[in-house]
């Protein structure tokens, strides 16, 4: 599997409040971004993998809705996570 338990804990420790913090918007956005990057690389090699393409579109939508939530809730947290992950907008 491309994402081990240790890798998830590392992402949550870096972007969340701790390694067991899986619920904050920042931690989820960071995890979605990691998965999106992985699927993007997969699709560069396998262009006709439409199931993966659909999964990628769904993940991007989930991440977008979390970013919209963070924009309404706390604009400073939104700006911090966008800058930290290198996302546009």
Per-residue pLDDT of the chain (89 residues; tens, 9 = 90+): 678 899 999 999 999 888 888 889 999 999 999 999 999 999 999 999 999 999 999 999 999 999 999 999 999 999 999 999 999 75
Largest Cα–Cα distance in the chain? 39
Residue 12 lies in a domain: no
CATH code, 76 = 1.10.287.10
Say what the pTM is: 0.90
Number of domains forming the structure of the chain: 1
End-to-end distance of the chain based on CA atoms, in angstroms? 31
The whole domain housing 78 covers 26-85
Q: Are the C-beta atoms of residues 29 and 61 closer than 8 Å to each other?
A: no
Residue 42 lies in a domain: yes
**Element at 63 (helix H, strand E):** helix 50-73
């Amino acid at each position: 599997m491309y994402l081990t338990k240790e890798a998830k804990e590392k992402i949550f420790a870096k972007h969340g409040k701790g390694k067991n913090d899986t619920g904050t918007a920042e931690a989820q956005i960071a995890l979605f971004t990691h998965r999106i990057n992985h699927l993007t690389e997969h699709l560069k090699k396998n262009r006709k993998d439409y199931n993966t393409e659909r999964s990628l579109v769904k993940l991007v939508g989930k991440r977008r809705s979390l970013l919209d939530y963070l924009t309404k809730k706390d604009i400073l947290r939104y700006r911090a996570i966008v800058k930290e992950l290198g996302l546009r907008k």
